[in-house]
Structure 1
Amino acid sequence: MAPLLELIDWIDQNKLSQEKLDTLYQAAPQTECPKTCSDCCRLTEEEMQGDIAVMYPLYKAEYFKIVSYIHKCFPEETVKNLLTLRDERPQICPFLIVKNHACLIYPARPYLCRIYGILSADELEMAKSLYQKKLPESWLREFLRMDSCLICEKIRVNDSGKMNYIDQRARGEDARALWKLSCQVPPHPREIEVESLTEGTLLIWTWGGFNALYASEESWFRSHFQEYWKKTALGFAPQVRSEKSADCVDCEEG
């Protein structure tokens, strides 16, 4: 069976639920981008020299949601082209329709794309003051570091529920939810096969990285994945903050 059909068959067999993921997406304040802008979908030359990546972090549960979406909505050739992309850190998002600044997978776009531009620089400063004595320093530092990369004054934001959103972001509640949803996805046979190489289950990566793991031809996977993994900069199973401590959240938690 071809890798694409195998992957779709595996997704169908495991009945991966997307309802909880959609609920998390809908909880974030809604945004509206200018129709002539796609700045968040591409990296500048300066950003390419740093450690920023488009559509990253992409959680495992989100990857499978996107695969299901493109399989249902696009011709086989388009799906094949998207799933054979293995560039871990492209300069331009593979789902950007460059000529009209549109997103090919807008209804299924991942969480990071949905929250881009929600907080302004002033709101981040306010959050810094508000949580300085309420959260561990490392939590606050990571929140500010991450969200300072998501500032875009061109985006219009529905302010409804924004304070609740800021609280969830600062405490890492959204990241924990994405982590847990990804933990609930059964391990794919290839994950089990390379677990000793990756030192655990990969719950966060990029579109190209997950494609290399799940959608690559068997011959490529056998011959090249190990070397591909050695060069990875973005594929890992990160620690996620717990409300009770700074320890990582176990996948077995509720």
Structure 2
Amino acid sequence: MPEAIPDIEPDSDQDFGASLSAAQLAELSSKLDAVYDQVPSTCCAGSGECCVLTDEEMQEGYATMFPLYLAEYVRIAEFVRIEESPERAQRLLAHTQERPRQCPFLGEQRGCTIYPVRPLICRTYAVLDQETIAAAAEQHADEMPEEWIKGFVRRESAMHCPRVTLTQPDKLVRHIHNLISYTYERTMARLSRTVFEQVSPDRRQAVRSQIRRRGWPTRWTWGGYNTLYLTSASWIQGYLKRYWKRAQLNDLD
């Protein structure tokens, strides 16, 4: 059995820390909200089924709240620090499981505890039904690369849910274009690279020495980012290389 990797204790060294300034967080939040505003709103049954993986989904490599962009992660982390109790915040910020069966933010009443700052993947989930997906693919077939169309159909078909109802159909045209053209992904990746550049040089160097890559993933998971963004220098030195090698979702860029 592989040696266990302990949960983390968030770093208290301000010079080594990765937190953005209040002004930087405010600017980031504004840019994220501008992206999110392009996604049509929905309502659902609130059963939380999309936040828990089945046995089959676990075996097939699915993950909850994935992909999570680094830009989204830092905003959610700040929300957790402010809105959650100290005890729950500590548990969430110490979480290192890369692929938990259940999203760590699913509440006791099956609701999302970070709903105001939920990531793009949760906002776009099941916006499109199968009929709309097929019609969009046909409509854009002559103006978008074939591989883009196929990727769009594959991704969106996997996120269909009959318990979700679209409430802002007027936003569909732009939303579909953003999905097919990877506009959402490019924008979120750019914001995430900016966040990485604002991380302290000491932390970037400490992480780089263990994972052997110049940058961080622009998209990963909550537990994964906790190990890069919040850990102490001693945790990075002692455990990050092993964690990184065991990870399954950390090399998508």
Change (3 A) 1:126 1:192: farther
Partner SS, residue 20 of structure 2: helix
Paired residue for 2:207? 194
Kindly provide the CA deviation profile for residues 108-145 of structure 1, in whole angstroms up to 9, marking residues without a partner as x.
11011011110011111112212223222222222222
In 2, Cα distance between the equivalents of 1:60 and 1:174?
14
Identify if the C-alpha distance between structure 1 residues 148 and 4 changes in structure 2 by more than 3 Å, giving closer, same or farther. farther
What secondary structure, in the 3-state scheme, does the structure 1 residue paired with 2:163 have? coil
State whether residues 130 and 157 of structure 2, in contact with CA within 8 Å, keep that contact through their aligned partners in structure 1: yes
Structure 2 stretches of 5 or more lacking a match? 1-8
Contact 1:59/1:204, CA 8 A, preserved across alignment: yes
Structure-2 separation of matches of 1:30 and 1:80: 31
Cα gap change, 1:237/1:187 in structure 2, threshold over 3 Å: closer, same or farther? farther
**Aligned pairs (5 A) from 1:150-165:** 150-158=159-167, 159-165=169-175
Give the 3-state SS of the residue equivalent to 1:102 in structure 2: coil
- Structure 1 residue 44, shift from structure 2 partner: 0.8
1:195 aligned partner, one-letter code? R
For residues 38-70 of structure 1, the C-alpha deviation after alignment (integer angstroms, 9 at most, x for no partner) is 111111110001122110110000000101111
What is the aligned partner in structure 1 of residue 240 from structure 2?
225
The answer on 1:50 being equivalent to 2:63 is no
What's the counterpart of residue 180 of structure 2?
Answer: 170
Contact 2:217 2:251 survives alignment (8 Å): yes
What letter is aligned with 2:65?
A: M
Residue 117 of structure 2 is aligned to residue 108 of structure 1: yes
Residue aligning to 1:203: 218
Q: Does the aligned pair in 2 maintain the 1:205–1:234 contact within 8 Å?
A: yes
Q: Retained in 2: the 8 A contact 1:58–1:206?
A: yes
> What's the counterpart of residue 250 of structure 1?
none
Q: Cα 1:192–1:149, aligned 2, differ >3 Å: closer, same or farther?
A: farther
What is the DSSP-based 3-state SS (H/G/I as helix, E as strand, rest coil) of the residue aligned with 2:24?
coil
Choose from 142, 146, 163 the match for 1:133: 142
SS at match of 1:103: coil
Counterpart code for 1:84: A
The higher-RCO structure (CA 8 Å, 6+ apart) is 2
CA offsets, 1:198-223, max 9 Å, x none?
35332111000001111234332211
Root-mean-square deviation (Å): 2.1
Task: Find the aligned partners of 1:89 and 1:3 in 2 and give their Cα distance.
Answer: 23
User: Any runs of at least 4 consecutive aligned residues in structure 1 with deviations exceeding 4 A, and if so which?
Assistant: 4-9
Deviates more, 1:155-164 or 1:81-90: 155-164
Q: Helix, strand or coil: the match of 2:152?
A: helix
Query: Out of 40, 43, 47, which is 1:32 matched to?
Result: 43
Q: Deviations over 1:66-98 (max 9, x none)?
A: 01111111222211100111000111000001x
Partner residue, 1:236: 251
TM-score, with structure 1 as normaliser: 0.85
Aligned position for 2:33: 22
* Contact kept? 2:98, 2:221, Cα under 8 Å: yes
Q: Could you tell me which residue of structure 2 aligns to residue 246 of structure 1?
A: none
Unaligned runs of 5+ in 1: 239-254
Counterparts of 1:219 and 1:136 in 2: how far apart (Å)? 47
1:5 to partner: Cα distance: 7.3
TM-score by length of 2: 0.86
